[in-house]
Structure 1
Amino acid sequence: MDRNWNELLQEMRVLQTGVQIIGGFLLTLPFQQRFGTLTGMQKWWFLLLVVLATMTTGLMLVPVSLHRRLFQHHVKYRLVAAGDKIVKAVVACVSLLIAGCAGLIFSVAVGPEAGLAAGGSILVALAALVLLYPLLSWSPRRRKAGQKR
């Protein structure tokens, strides 16, 4: 369980860096000259992404909070199981954040239709990568002959 917990924390560190970079990018946008030229929809899209980035960052704090609360209560299995669910939720939020940011950029650069098309396409591609690919590419029951355990 200790190894599983450490691996979860390492995954969260990798995700945290990406969320911080995207969040920092979003926080700089209102201070750019061109921000005033955004349409009302683009501004709401931007604000939705700020809320999503903030909530994703907050969600990443939950495993730490759980660990502090459950420290030395001999429930490491429950802690790892909860951490696993939280990491999955964070991956989903980060995927939405990436697709949303790309969509907003396309919307500003090309137009709202292009933004929706790009954001939707990227979201579908990310869903395939983070949901379907792991399911289809590997199963513990389908180990190749001769592969070490």
Structure 2
Amino acid sequence: MADDSGSHAAHDTRNETPFERADRNFSEILQELRVTQTGVQILFAFLLTLAFTPRFRTLDDVQRATYVTTLLLAVLAATLFTAPAAVHRALFQQRAKPLIVRVSSHLARAGMGVLMFALAGSVLLVVDVAVGRTGGIIASVGTFLVCAGLWGVLPRLLPRMARRAAARQDVTREPPR
């Protein structure tokens, strides 16, 4: 999620005030939330319809528990992803945009964490019903690991990779004459 504190020299090249930076960062967070929120809404709608299908009555206790847990996780993710709008509304025109950005970024991160579990739970439920419990567990763990890798590990590795690439470029540059 966008969390540009302005502490890095590269960010200073934008020549923007702290409030302009906060406005830009909040706009970026909202764009990110539009993408994730749509996915959560689709997942939530899918889960809501399952309880009203004829097959739902045939689910065993583990499948029902998975369903309820996943449904509640989807609700929590949707709530976390919409909370920045409520925070913004509560602090609107109080010159608190930097605070709104920080809180919204934390809420979005928490939403992504909850969404990982909701996605893994929905995959567990569907694959369990379709092919069996073992397949459901394997697919669910795989889903969780892919999400954790792409949403958690990769974003932490990218700055290191960028620093290494920049260092290699500095080494390979011809010295000034």
Q: Taking CA–CA contacts closer than 8 Å with sequence separation of 6 or more, which of the two structures ends up with the larger relative contact order?
A: 1
Unaligned runs of 5+ in 2: 1-21, 171-177
Runs of 4+ that moved beyond 6 A: none
Q: CA deviation at 1:140?
A: 9.2
Aligned with residue 80 of structure 1, among 80, 97, 101 = 101
- The TM-score with structure 2 as length reference comes to 0.77
**Contact 2:71 2:118 (C-alpha < 8 Å) held by counterparts:** no
**Counterpart amino acid of residue 22 in structure 1:** L
**Contact 2:128 2:137 (C-alpha < 8 Å) held by counterparts:** yes
Aligned to 1:125: 146
Counterparts of 1:126 and 1:51 in 2: how far apart (Å)?
19
Q: CA deviation at 1:125?
A: 1.9
Mark the structure with the bigger radius of gyration: 2
- Please state whether the residue corresponding to 2:94 is helix, strand or coil: coil
Aligned with residue 13 of structure 1, among 34, 45, 54 = 34
Counterparts of 2:71 and 2:107 in 1: how far apart (Å)?
20
The reply to whether residue 30 of structure 1 matches residue 51 of structure 2 is yes
Give the total of aligned pairs. Answer: 146
**For the aligned residues, what is the CA RMSD?**
1.7
- The TM-score with structure 1 as length reference comes to 0.90
- Please state whether the residue corresponding to 1:89 is helix, strand or coil: helix
* Identity of matched residues, %: 36
Aligned to 1:67: 88
Matches within 5 A, 1:44-55: 44-55=65-76
Q: CA deviation at 1:141?
A: 6.9
